[in-house]
Amino acid sequence: MLFGAAEASPQELQEDNKLVENEAAGFVPEVKESVEVSAGEVASPAQARFFSCPSGWVRYKSDCYLFVASSTSWTSAVTNCASYGASLASAHDLFDYSFLQDLTRRSGYTTAWMGGFYFQGWRWLDQSTFSYSNWYSQNSVTSYPCIYLRTTGGWTNAVCTTSLPYICVKKTDTC
């Protein structure tokens, strides 16, 4: 009734409006009440994936980070992060590294394992490019292939069996 709408009677317009309302009701869900989620409740999977991190994890950019205070070797830290569906954290710019330093500092520590390691070149465990460097000091890669961060400066490489706390990252922007 688009073309003749100007000539339509009020009764015909009301009937057309009812048709449109009925069609729209089939496609647009009616919201009956708002739902609030308390801090102790778990949000729906869609909300959790896009808006929050698991309890104890900290959101930064579109990822969730967990500082784990129990000191362990780099390899055990890798395994422990994987058990959370995460990997050791990486830093791609000064802002990322500053965030990781602050997370470590707020947890009361001065060092923590990161996901950097040497294997035919420096790499990140999460497969991202190692395009940003923030070395405080760099030791021999054959003896010291694992990277840890320092809250007082850049990162350093160490023997992987050294016991340190670590930072896991869980990617939330992937399906």
For residue 12, the model assigns a pLDDT of: 53
- The stretch 34-54 carries a mean pLDDT of 50
Give the separation between CA 42 and CA 175, rounded to whole angstroms. 19
CB 148: neighbour CB atoms within 10 A? 23
Distance CA(21)–CA(27), nearest Å, equals: 10
For residue range 45-62, list pLDDT tens digits in order. Answer: 444 445 689 999 999 999
Q: Measured between alpha carbons, how far apart are the two ends of the chain, in Å?
A: 44
The yes-or-no verdict on residue 91 having pLDDT over 50 is yes
Average pLDDT over residues 120-145: 92
Nearest Cα neighbor of 130 from 144, 120, 140 is 120
User: Which three-class secondary structure state does DSSP give residue 67?
Assistant: strand
Q: What is the C-alpha to C-alpha distance for residues 28 and 21, in angstroms, rounded to an integer?
A: 10
CATH of domain 57-171: 3.10.100.10
Q: Does residue 24 have a pLDDT over 90?
A: no
- Domain locations in the chain? 57-171
pLDDT (average), residues 135-153 = 94
